[in-house]
């Protein structure tokens, strides 16, 4: 059987029962399970606010939009972001007619605080930090920088479901204005597509709820919950249709029960991989700064010849991947090419090895043996 780079594992019977509950109740849209999941997520993470959405991408958009509205930012003001990420992180800056300024990454493939400081100017308003691979990187230093320079901080926590540092979810750290999670199909907590936005400030959470529901000031669930259906509402903004739905939330609620168990297995796999590669002088492991509770969404190595290694793995029916290519190489962001030296270098050598709940120890050993035989 072929080994995929990422492959979700669902608790199928429990998920089907939870979906059946929605179908039997006749409530598959926003509300019911979405509210249950928001509460469960708040309890699991310690976030004060949580609003369920149809993806992380739309959550990042709302984060930028709301901070822009609330703080009077202008078009062409700047947000500092990372070139090593999925393009969603950077597109949302452009959705709001702002400018994405790129800072380089560090050994954790997260934003490098030293380069972030160099990229700050009079037009800088915020930083988007990606907890890449679930790693917290030097987020603590980025928080200090944002406080010092009066910048807002958005945490793209797409990979961070379950990451904790000393038992605390980094998205809840003082100084993080908003954290956005992804429950896309292959994430640590997989659904079909969905996400969560967690604002530190309750006012912003309220606004997110309204903007994600077309700008309507009372959502359908709130209006139908009291026995009679109150049809009257006002529309204060040109909002979006960004809300999550009960079917996805039903799956999320089940998968959340198994997130810590799954992440513990991820850490076991990482340990086996790390031990096997640490003495190979041609391979550099991208490790986490704290080893206790990283979600390890993906497992990356830096190797001399990535394309050949991908080919060798494929010959053995094993499929590695590349997460992610330096965004300044895409046409949209070419204006920033050459501004992040390490990112552009490392982008040529990054390979993602299989990491998921279906992997057996024997398969991990097989992958290791092929990699270590080939990269020497
Ligand atoms: C770092 C990062 N940010 C944002 C996203 C977008 O997440 P979603 O697919 O839930 O919109 C992804 C998805 O791959 C991601 O890896």
Which of the following CATH numbers is that of domain 12-257: 3.40.640.10, 3.40.1010.20, 3.40.50.620, 3.40.1260.10? 3.40.640.10
Ligand 1 centroid, distance to 130 Cα (angstroms): 10
d(C-alpha 328, C-alpha 100), whole Å: 10
pLDDT digits (tens, 9 = 90+) for 67-81: 999 999 999 999 999
112 lines ligand 1 (CB under 6 A): no
Mean local confidence (pLDDT), 184-210: 98
Domain with CATH 3.40.640.10 in the chain: 12-257
Specify burial of residue 374 (Cβ count, 10 A radius: 0-12, 13-18, 19+).
middle
pLDDT value at residue 242: 98
81 lines ligand 1 (CB under 6 A): no
119-123, 244-248, 264-268, 291-295: the lowest-pLDDT one? 291-295
pLDDT value at residue 27: 96
Predicted TM-score of the model (pTM) = 0.97
89 lines ligand 1 (CB under 6 A): yes
Ligand 1 centroid, distance to 195 Cα (angstroms): 9
User: Confidence class of residue 219 from pLDDT cuts 50, 70 and 90?
Assistant: confident
85 lines ligand 1 (CB under 6 A): yes
Domain with CATH 3.90.1150.10 in the chain: 259-374
d(C-alpha 296, C-alpha 284), whole Å: 16
158, 188, 192, 242, best to mutate for ligand 1 pocket (most atoms within 8 Å of CB):
158
Angle at 294 (CA atoms; ends 33, 323), nearest 5 degrees: 90
User: Which class is domain 259-374?
Assistant: alpha beta
182 lines ligand 1 (CB under 6 A): yes
158 lines ligand 1 (CB under 6 A): yes
């Amino acid at each position: 059987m072929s080994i995929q780079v990422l492959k979700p594992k669902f608790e199928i019977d429990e998920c089907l029962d939870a979906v059946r509950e929605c179908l039997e109740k006749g409530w598959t849209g926003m509300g019911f399970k979405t509210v249950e999941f928001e509460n469960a997520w708040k309890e699991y993470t310690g976030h004060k606010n949580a609003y369920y959405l149809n993806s992380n991408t739309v959550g990042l958009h709302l984060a930028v939009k709301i901070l822009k509205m609330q703080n009077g930012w202008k078009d062409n003001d700047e947000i500092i972001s990372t070139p090593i990420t999925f393009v969603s992180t950077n597109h949302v800056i452009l959705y709001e007619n702002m400018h994405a300024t790129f800072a380089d990454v560090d050994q954790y493939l997260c934003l490098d605080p030293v380069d972030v400081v160099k990229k700050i100017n009079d037009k800088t308003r915020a930083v988007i930090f990606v907890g890449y691979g679930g790693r917290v990187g030097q987020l603590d230093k980025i928080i200090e920088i944002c406080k010092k320079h009066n910048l807002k901080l958005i945490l793209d926590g797409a990979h961070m479901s379950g990451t904790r540092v000393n038992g605390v979810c980094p998205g809840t750290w003082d100084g993080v204005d908003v954290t956005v999670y992804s429950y896309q199909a292959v994430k640590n907590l997989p659904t079909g597509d969905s996400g969560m936005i967690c604002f530190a400030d309750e006012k912003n959470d309220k606004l997110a709820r309204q903007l994600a529901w077309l700008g309507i000031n009372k959502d359908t669930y709130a209006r139908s919950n009291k026995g009679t259906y109150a049809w009257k509402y006002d529309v204060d903004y040109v909002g979006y249709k960004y809300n999550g739905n009960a079917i996805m939330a039903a799956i999320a609620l089940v998968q959340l029960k198994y997130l810590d168990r799954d992440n513990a297995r991820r850490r076991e796999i990482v340990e086996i991989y790390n031990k096997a590669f640490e003495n190979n002088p041609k391979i550099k492991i991208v490790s986490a700064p704290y080893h206790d509770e990283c979600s390890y969404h993906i497992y990356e190595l830096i190797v001399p010849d990535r394309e050949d290694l991908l080919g060798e793995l494929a010959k053995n029916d094993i499929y590695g991947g590349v997460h992610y290519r330096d965004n300044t190489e895409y046409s949209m962001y070419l204006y920033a090419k050459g501004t992040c030296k390490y990112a552009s270098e490392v982008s040529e050598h990054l390979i993602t090895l299989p990491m998921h709940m279906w992997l057996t120890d024997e398969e991990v050993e097989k992958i290791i043996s092929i990699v270590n035989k080939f990269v020497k």
